[in-house]
Structure formats: structure tokens, C-alpha cells
Amino acid sequence: MKQICVVGVGYVGLVTAACFADLGNKVTALDIDEKRVANLKKGVMPIYEPGLDELVKRNVNAGRINFTTSYKEALNGAEYAFIAVGTPSGEDGSADLKYVETAAKSIAQNMSAPLVLINKSTVPIGTGDWVADIVKSAQPKPIEFAVVSCPEFLREGSAIADFMNPHRTVIGSLDKDAANKVAHLHLPLRAPIVITDLRTAEMIKYASNAFLATKISFINELADLCERVGADVKEVAAGMGYDARIGRHFLDAGLGWGGSCFPKDVEALAFMAKEKGLNPQILNSVMDVNYERRSNAVKHVEKLLNGLENKVVGLLGLAFKENTDDMRDAASIDIADGLIKAGATVRGYDPVARETAAPHMPKVKIYDNPYNMAEGCDALVVVTPWNEFKQLDLEKIKSLLKSPIVYDGRNIYEPNRMKEMGFTYKAVGR
């Protein structure tokens, strides 16, 4: 059993803390948000993630995880300290490292024994060296430490499974002993371990996310061509996916990517390239193609309705993806704004993201039932591919709509069946 401190209890930090506790370690999770910590002590989760509630409660009851706002308490006896705080995009596209800096300083000022500091947050190349300098300068007295980069590869909605069954664990450090210690900590996961230097590990994270984002933008651009030539992008993606060099994952055409990772990481990587005098043409195009999906969706709905003035449009799904309540860079926000600017009234429904969505879209009336939302709408737009939407009573939906028009931004329905049922139906790339 190892003693671990995790700084930050957001999506990455809380999942990391709970999973390491479930592997038999003693974990103290720290956050400076007193309300969030107080709620966690009561068993109230700050985020929606399938299985997380049960996982946290099980390990709290077993005495393997606790929560605090005190760095001194969290670091007492700790061998490892994970930094898992947010790195939001700055106005210029760069990663904002103020939370990382605060965490590093606070760790330095409160550590009382040798420590391995592990950057779990996605950070610009060279941040590991910078964190080491911060700790050295902020320590009241010199205490041995090492900095390791161990980037996360968790997908919201399947974060626990991704942690427990990773494709690989990437570890970067200039200190071989520290790297080996972190590798040993991850051995129970039985995944390949890649040990490299700090900067390469940091780059692996950015490169991985940017490549996956590129796959999504590529298939979305291809979807537009499929529509023009009469091909079906879903069958195209399936045919491509059988090629082991390509793979099937992240080839779902639709409304593009969003969330907390792809947008800021692609932007940050492009920013780093520009800072070094390079012209990141592919990265810039990946971003442009992605955000065009949202405005294109508005245009499609406008065409289906012969104008949006005084029309009522319902959004099926608000979160940026299924199985999460995360609204960061959600397509629904831009689509709702575009519809409203064109004169439409917009309604919305999401199985879990209704509360988190409300502050982001104050002009959207959010319903707690998809059928109530659909009643009297001129059209529906599928924004998030929740399983619930695949099982809707479509006959009932049709009877409730003012006009049976559906723009399926996630390709969850079969075009032929929808048309046979009497819907005016438009999918993406089909």
C-alpha cells in the first residue's frame, strides 16, 4: 500500500484518487474549494461520471480515501503527489498554468519528506522543468523531490474503465528512480509502460489528443462530400475501420468534438507551434472544420424549416457527449445561439446535464422530459447521442411535433426507417 496525495478533485483528479484507492492505496484528495470538499465528505459528487459515486463511497467506507482542503494534512506521510488541476485555455490559445503554479508552490511549502511530484494535468512542453524550478524556489528548506510527467488518457463517460484498463501508461522524468517508482505504482493495471523524458511524455499527450481530433474532423469533412456524391459516411467509416492502420475509433461523423480536452489541447499545441516559428496548418484546419459543424447544423435546420423566424426548435441532448454532464465547449451552446440569432425559440432536454447546462444557455427553456419538450416544436435536433434517444417512442414524438422534422446531428436513427415513418429527416453524411 502506497500513500498518495491528489491535488484537484475534478474529472481527472477525483477519478485518479478513487481508482488508486480501489487498488489498495491510501489516498488523500485535496481541493481548495471548501464547498466541493464538504460535499464529497457527505458523499455528494461534484461531477457525473458512471460508476464514480459507488467507487468513491466504497473506498471512503474502507478508509482508503479521504478529502481535505489542507495541504499539510494531504502531504503528511505521502510518497507521491499528483497534480490534477485544470489548465484552461488563455485568450491567446495558450494553456493557463496558474492552478498548476499554485499547486506546486503549496506542495513545496508544506512537504516535510522526500516526494515524487507527478503532473497528471495536460501541460505545455517544458512544464515539468518549470514545476521543478517553482518547487525548489518555494521550499522553506531543501527537501529531496523529483518531477514526473504521467499524462491521463481518460474519456469522460468511461473514465473509470479507461483508468483501470489503459492502452498504455506514459511516464516521463529525468530521474530514473522516480520514473521506476511511478511505474511500480501503475503495475497493477497490467498495461504497457512507456518510460521517456519529461518533454517527450508531455508531447505524447498533446499529440495523441490532436491526432484523435484530426480523425473526427477528417470524417466530418468527408461526410459533406458523401452527401454531395450520394455515399453513406457510416458505411465508409466502417469500411475504413477494418484497416488496422486506420482503426474504427473516432470516425463517427456528426457535430464534431467538444469538452475539456480536444478543444484546448489542439489550440495549445497550435499555439506552441506558432511560438516556435512554425505554421501548424493541419492543426488550424482541424479546428476550423470542427467548429464549422455547428454553424452548418444551424444552416441545415434553417433550410429544413424554410427559415427560422418564429420557429420552435428542440435540442435532444445538451452535454458535449453522452454519459457526462460536462458542458465545456458543448456543440449545443453554439447551435442554440445560432438558432436564436436567426429568430428561433429554442428548447432543450438532457438526461443528466440540465442543471449544468442552464447557466450556459439562459435563453433556452430546459425541460425534464423529452416528450414535453417536443410538443409543439417545428423541428428536433439530435445533439448528444444518449442511448435514451435511440429508444424514444418516435410515433409519439411525431404526433407531438408541429411538423415531423428531425435533423440528426449524431446519426443515431436509420434514414430509411425515419422516412418510412413520415419524418422529414436529415442526417450527417448520409
**Residues in the chain, how many?**
430
Q: CA 395: distance to chain centroid?
A: 34
Can you read off the three cell numbers belonging to residue 329?
Answer: 465547449
Rounded to 5°, angle at Cα 59 from 110 and 147? 35
Residue owning grid cell 477519478: 15
Measured between alpha carbons, how far is residue 333 from residues 239, 274, 375 in Å?
Answer: 33, 29, 22
In sign, the C-alpha dihedral spanning 120, 123, 128, 130 is negative
Q: Which of 79, 67, 68 is nearest to 117 (CA)?
A: 79
Report helix angle 52-61 to 11-22, nearest 10.
50
Q: What is the β-pairing status of strands 345-349 and 365-367?
A: parallel
What b/e readout covers 328-362, taking b as 16+ CB neighbours within 10 angstroms? bbbbbbbbbbbbbebebbbbbbbbbbbebbeebbe
Answer yes or no: are the C-beta atoms of 320 and 155 closer than 8 Å. no
Residue owning grid cell 429527416: 425
The Cα 237–Cα 378 span in angstroms is: 32
Measured between alpha carbons, how far is residue 97 from residues 100, 182, 204, 404 in Å?
Answer: 5, 23, 19, 48
Question: Which residues are catalytic, by number?
Answer: 261
11: amino acid identity, one letter:
Y
Q: Which of 212, 313, 310 is nearest to 266 (CA)?
A: 212
